[in-house]
Amino acid sequence: MKHKNKKIPEYKKELVEVFSLIHGDKALMGEFLMDILTPAEFEAMAIRWQVVKRLNKGDTHRSIAGDLGLGISTVTRGSREFRNKDGGFHLMLKKLGK
């Protein structure tokens, strides 16, 4: 979903602030995610996180795709972001001790 609105960076910053305020309140986080995301978006995020965890364990693209019912191209797209060792995926995995 691409928008040409020049305020999108401001909106993204605000959303990050909202998420930071939810920190630690799992019930609120769940409710907020269910309200702000469509069921398909929520599912896609959950599956993407599973891809990241499996990539981190060293699983092959083919095994991840097969186990999660995804196309290889979907796993490959996720692995592009995973390659950034300073990115959010690795920071979160480190925070979780994985």
pLDDT tens figures, 50-59 = 999 999 999 9
Question: Does position 2 have pLDDT exceeding 70, yes or no?
Answer: no
Share of the chain above pLDDT 90, in %: 86
Q: What is the pTM of this model?
A: 0.84
Alpha helices in 23-71 (DSSP H): 26-36, 39-57, 61-68
Cα angle 36, 4, 33 (rounded to 5 degrees) comes to: 10
Which token pair is 51? 């891809």
Confidence at 23, pLDDT banded by 50, 70, 90: confident
